[in-house]
Amino acid sequence: MSSSIVNLVYLFAGVLFILGIKGLTKPATAVRGNMLSATGMLIAVVITLLNSEIVNFTYIVAGVLFGGVVGAFMALRIQMTSMPQMVALLNGFGGGASLTIASAEYFSVLNIDAHTFADLLQPVALGADAFGTGAEGQVTLVSIGLTILIGAVTLTGSLVAFAKLQGLVKKNFGLPGGPIGNALLLIGGLVALGCMIVNPSQAVTVLALIALALLLGLFLVLPIGGADMPVVIALLNSYSGLAAALAGFILGNTVLIVAGSLVGTSGLILTKIMCVAMNRSLGNVLFGKMAAAGEAVDADEIYAGKVTSAQPDEVAMMLEVAKRVVIVPGYGMAMAQAQHAVRELADSMESKGIEVEYGIHPVAGRMPGHMNVLLAEAEVPYDNLVEMDRINPTFEDTDVVIVIGANDVTNPMARDAEGSPIYGMPILNVDKAKNVVVIKRSLSPGFAGLPNPLFAMDHTLMVYGDGKKAVVEMTTALNQS
């Protein structure tokens, strides 16, 4: 198989990837787009397998079988509420693949074989020239180093993100010195990278780079918690793409570069959207805490004597006379697995001629688009899922807003209280509606740690308890009326 033909086929696969992502710009064409993309992948893999350099299929068959079974099992068994964990794991494996490919290339070029760890520490006979003459060798080495760095950070960072989302790691903690500790790890990694480029025959430099980068990934994500996860996941998504593109430079492989850079930009754009939706800079999410501005707000002062609570059947009476209802879901809906119950409540309202829409904040949930997937699973038509900018002007004409499991994204302090830590963050203006119903376990603050004046407003009713149970009771009461 000549390399020209292989490259032409790679080009074709790259075109299919592009068409695949283009298909994702509309829900109606998205399934087809995904199929096109998968076809591109199949073609690229098949043409690679025909390559004459591949003679030993033992490791390939073992890896494909093992990876295929694990991947299929995860994809088919995962609950929609756990989708952030799944995406975090996939990001991590993407980083892991790039990391191992770059390391394999390094050891392959230098023909290093090691049966014990001590073997690895011996310098080898081959030097930088083995990677290519002059500047080419340097570029390959730099690509190997950067791929290892980014791939390793993505691997451990994503595993930590997974552990946090799964609730395996609950505490947020970092290195002593916080960002400075991480900066030292990064500098250490870059020094190891530099040494590797200058003196590639010392494999110990690569081992140091791998170790430092793995640690950096751990400690970058360990301090970050809860509602900042959408940013972290989007950023790690970007890294996994970037690592793949860099691996393309090592191997001189065009399809890796095209696909990797598409993924890299996708993740970066999502990261930016998430940061804008939280009114925070990327640096602030990664290294900072919430802005510590303004005097502490006393929750008791805001809530005392002003919070009205209600039972689900009282809410049902209110819904009965409404013309337009907007449902605002948050992470609490995912926790309570309440998406099907919410859909049934909406069905019941629609059967009584009430207009129902869903107001979705970009950072509601634990990753970009989390709420949309949950509601799609509950068979809510996507036309009813309305993004923030389009739903906000409609709240004044809305009779009842039902907030389920969302908090900070509805906090009017973000709009009105200058000096508040969340001031400037775009919110859903649910307080503009005629009535607001908040389904929540208690008055406890959200991720920002702030009280929410919305809960104390005259036209707000608090329904305490499990989100799913409360919604089911509302539906039952509404159906009986």
Q: Cite the active site residues.
A: 408
Nearer to another protein, 235 or 438 (CB): 235
Q: With contacts defined by CB under 8 A, how many residues of the chain interact with another protein?
A: 117
Judged by CB under 8 A, the residue of 149, 227, 275, 385 near another protein is 385
Separation CA 268–CA 207 (nearest Å) = 29
Residue given tokens 């009430």 in the structure block:
354
Residue 226, class by beta-carbon neighbours within 10 Å (0-12 exposed, 13-18 middle, 19+ buried)?
middle
DSSP 410-431: G-THHHH-TTSTTTT-----GG
Q: How far is the C-alpha of 71 from the C-alpha of 385, rounded, in Å?
A: 30
Sole binder of another protein in the list 7, 12, 80, 476 (CB under 8 A): 80
**Is residue 269 part of the contact set for another protein (CB under 8 A)?**
yes
Residue 295 phi, psi dihedral angles, 5° rounding: -75, 155
CB of 2 to another protein, least distance (A): 16
* Spatial separation of the C-alpha atoms in residues 8 and 14, rounded to whole Å: 10
Instruction: By CB under 8 A, name the one of 1, 15, 72, 304 that touches another protein.
Output: 72
Q: Does 377 bind another protein (CB under 8 A)?
A: yes
Which residues sit opposite 355 in a β-bridge?
A: 324
Using the minimum distance from each CB to another protein, give the nearer residue, 363 or 413.
363
* 260-291 CB burial, b ≥16 within 10 A, e <16: bbbbbebbbebbebbbebbebeeebbbbeebb
Q: Virtual CA dihedral for 63, 65, 70, 74, nearest 10 degrees?
A: 130
Minimum separation from the CB atom of position 310 to another protein (A) = 31
300 binds another protein (CB under 8 A): no
**Of 125, 135, 292, 296, which lies in the binding site for another protein, with binding defined by CB under 8 A?**
135
Least distance in angstroms from the C-beta of 95 to another protein: 8
The region of 60-68, 178-186, 324-332, 434-442 touching another protein under the rule CB under 8 A is: 60-68
Least Å from the CB of residue 397 to another protein? 22
Query: Does residue 382 contact residue 376 with C-beta atoms inside 8 Å?
Result: yes
Shortest distance in whole angstroms from residue 41 CB to another protein:
6
Of 148, 105, 109, 101, the residue nearest 127 (C-alpha): 109
Restricted to residues 270-299, the positions that interact with another protein (CB under 8 A) are: 270, 273
Query: Does 1 contact another protein by CB under 8 A?
Result: no
Judged by CB under 8 A, the chain residues 150 through 179 that form the site for another protein are none
Among 258, 354, 425, 443, binds another protein (CB under 8 A): 258
Q: Does 76 bind another protein (CB under 8 A)?
A: yes
> Could you say which residues in the range 11-50 bind another protein, by CB under 8 A?
13, 17-18, 20-22, 24-28, 30-31, 33-35, 37-38, 41, 44-45, 48-49
Q: Is residue 469 within 8 Å of residue 476, measured between CB atoms?
A: no
Nearer to another protein, 64 or 187 (CB): 64
Distance of alpha carbon 458 from alpha carbon 349, whole angstroms: 24
From the list 57-65, 289-297, 341-349, 455-463, the region that binds another protein by CB under 8 A is 57-65
Under the criterion CB under 8 A, does residue 100 sit at the interface with another protein?
yes
Please check whether residue 404 is in contact with residue 467, taking contact to mean a CB–CB distance below 8 angstroms: yes
Asked if 437 contacts 402 with a C-beta cutoff of 8 angstroms, the reply is: yes
Looking at beta carbons only, is 11 or 321 nearer to another protein? 11
Judged by CB under 8 A, the residue of 7, 126, 130, 139 near another protein is: 139
370 touches 334 (CB < 8 A) = yes
Nearest-approach distance from CB 237 to another protein, in angstroms:
5
Task: Give the separation between CA 439 and CA 309, rounded to whole angstroms.
Answer: 10
Closer to another protein by CB, 247 or 461: give it: 247
Residues 216-235 that bind another protein (CB under 8 A): 233-234
CB of 260 to another protein, least distance (A): 6
Under rule CB under 8 A, residue 118 binds another protein: no
